[in-house]
Amino acid sequence: MLPGWLPKTDLVFLLLTLAVLLLGTCQPSPPVPQLTIAVNAGVEGDALKAAAADYEQRFGVRVQIVELPYANLFEKQLVDLLNRTGAYDVLMLDDPWMPRYAATGELTPLEPLFAQKALTGPDDDFLAPCLAVCRHPYGNGNLYALPYVGNSQLFFYRQDLFEKYGLAAPKTWAEVGRAARAILRGERKVYGYVMRAAQGNAVVADFMPLLWAFGGDVLDAQGNPVLNSPEAIAALQFMLELGQVSPPGYASFNADEVAAHLLQGTAAMSINWPAWIPAVDDPSKSRVVGKIGFSAVPGGKRAGVAAIGNWLLAIPRGSRRVELAFDFILWATNSEQMRISAERGNPPTRRSLFQNASLRAKYRSYPVQLHSLETSRPRPRTPLWNEIENVLGVYLSKANAGELGAEDALRQAHAQIIQILKRNP
């Protein structure tokens, strides 16, 4: 029975209105787009995390960051790639991993995605060596990534101590050794050199510029191991000599320990990555503000050359959000966003930013960094590099810890690398 105070027509209208409202509230709201990005836990990944937060706020895309330490990042990403789980939409990857990831077709080629947007590909502002490591085969193969962090090694040295002892910036490793011994003799609390010698990537990265300068290599042009060569043995013997002027315990050092000695002023020289440079002139972090100089990696039998170590952005084949992931990569690597990333401390991969006046005023190392990138050299471009690096890293670290001599360490590494190659013809 209808209430007497409400006419029938009004009641029907009211009920219809309520029904429409209820139906409207039951309609699901459109899903919020989401991206999941696997990021390196370290200074190189900090700017990408900040960029992802900016992207989320600007475009309304929910960005989930999975932050992993370097030692686990490769393993977790590879599991996702091989099983195509779709756990990640964007990978932040170290450039030596590119051959392994791309060789079995587990990365999304980017050229078709550029074509869908009527773009011919990456613009010419990207430095050629930075784009070369994004291709497989190296240099001129398919494009599988865009370069985000323009890492290549630099030589760090205490300009004030070099001036004090009448030393010129070292151009050869022999000069490095002489300078290290002179500073160690003259300074009570400063070691002549500091390096990474922990097993794995750490010690291998610090060894490669020495190996190349002494005329050696890990693999020859045909992909055969050559670590038992006189040149390679001489390089490791010299590394052990540098260990004699390095802080105690250096055989277990990684990037953080090396940076700590440089920032605290307790070591005079080192090879390091440019992502640490902003801290050098930050008074809240450094006791040597304005005292550290930067130069090209020293040479020897051959001209000095830095290892390139770019961090790249790629899309797994298993991603269910390829177009959105590509939009994010294009956005993060455009000139303006990379400038913001550079302001946050990440070295760029674009020539125009290395030449940017405000960035050069902020980062006095930029001219040297640009030269280092332009002349840098990649680590061996083989899908087996991670296995090879792990083996070599074990024996280099054992040599630095005094467990093996240089010749024995490299002979054993050489033999094990032969076995890796035989298992993977």
CA distance 3 to 294: 89
* Backbone angles phi and psi of 12, in degrees to 5: -60, -45
What are the phi and psi torsion angles at 127 (to 5°)?
A: -65, 140
Sign of CA dihedral 200, 202, 205, 206: negative
177 CA to centre of own chain: 28
β-bridge mates for residue 90, sequence order = 37
Distance separating alpha carbons of residues 295 and 188, to the nearest angstrom: 25
How many Cβ atoms are within 10 Å of 215's Cβ, its own excluded? 15
Averaged confidence pLDDT in the chain: 93
Laid out side by side, the sheet with 292-295 consists of 269-272, 154-158, 292-295
In whole angstroms, give the CA distance from residue 263 to residue 257.
Answer: 10
Q: Strand, coil or helix: what is 64?
A: strand
Q: Looking at residue 248, what is its pLDDT?
A: 97
Q: Indicate the SS3 state at residue 57.
A: helix
Q: Does residue 12 register a pLDDT over 80?
A: no
Residue 244 has pLDDT above 60, yes or no: yes
Which residue type, as a one-letter code, is found at position 76?
Answer: K
Q: Are 211 and 232 in contact (CB under 8 A)?
A: yes
Query: What gap in Å lies between CA 153 and CA 180, rounded to an integer?
Result: 19
* CB 373 within 8 Å of CB 350: no
pLDDT for residue 237 is more than 60: yes
Query: Is residue 43 predicted with pLDDT exceeding 90?
Result: no
Query: What pTM did the predictor assign?
Result: 0.89
Give the percent of the chain with pLDDT over 90.
89
Checking if the pLDDT of 14 tops 90, the result is no
Percent of the chain surpassing pLDDT 70: 93
Q: What is the DSSP letter of 93?
A: E
Domains of the chain: 34-151+309-374 (3.40.190.10), 154-307+380-423 (3.40.190.10)
Give the per-residue pLDDT at 1.
Answer: 43
Q: How confident is the model at residue 168 (pLDDT cuts 50, 70, 90)?
A: very high
**pLDDT band with cut points at 50, 70 and 90 for residue 5:** very low
Of residues 120 and 19, the one with the higher pLDDT is 120
pLDDT of residue 104: 87
Nearest to 270 by CA among 359, 69, 288: 288
What local confidence, expressed as pLDDT, does residue 425 receive? 82
Structure tokens at 184: 């160690």
149 beta partners? 311
Task: Return phi, psi of residue 309, to 5°.
Answer: -145, 50
Residue 35 β-bridge partners: 63
Is residue 26 over pLDDT 80? Answer: no
Reported confidence tier of residue 25, pLDDT bands at 50, 70, 90: low
Which is it for strands 311-314 and 145-149: parallel, antiparallel or unpaired? antiparallel
Dihedral (C-alpha) 309, 315, 316, 320: value to the nearest 10 degrees?
160
Asked whether residue 2 carries a pLDDT value surpassing 50, the answer given is no
Half-sphere exposure of 180 toward its Cβ, with a 13 Å CA cutoff? 24
Backbone φ, ψ for residue 296 (5° rounding):
-65, 155
Residue pLDDT, tens place only, 132-156: 999 999 999 999 999 999 999 999 9
Phi first, then psi: what are they for 316, rounded to 5°? -65, 150
Listed residue (136, 133, 164, 163) closest to 148, CA to CA = 133
- Residue 31's pLDDT is what? 80
Are residues 93 and 312 in contact, defined by beta-carbon separation less than 8 angstroms? Answer: yes
Q: In Å, how far are 113, 349, 378 from 110, measured between CA atoms?
A: 5, 18, 21
Whether the CB-CB separation of 339 and 362 falls below 8 Å is answered with no
Arithmetic mean of pLDDT, 334-346: 95
Q: Which two tokens stand for residue 217?
A: 């290599």
pLDDT tens digits, residue range 68-124?
A: 999 899 999 999 999 999 999 999 999 999 999 999 899 999 999 999 999 999 999
The larger pLDDT score, comparing residue 278 to residue 225, is at: 225
pLDDT at position 275: 81
* Bond preceding residue 230 cis, omega within 30 of 0: no
pLDDT of residue 225: 97
What residues contact residue 84 under an 8 Å CB cut-off, 6+ apart?
A: 106, 316, 317, 318
**pLDDT per residue as tens digits for the range 269-327:** 999 999 888 899 999 999 999 999 999 999 999 999 999 999 999 999 999 999 999 99
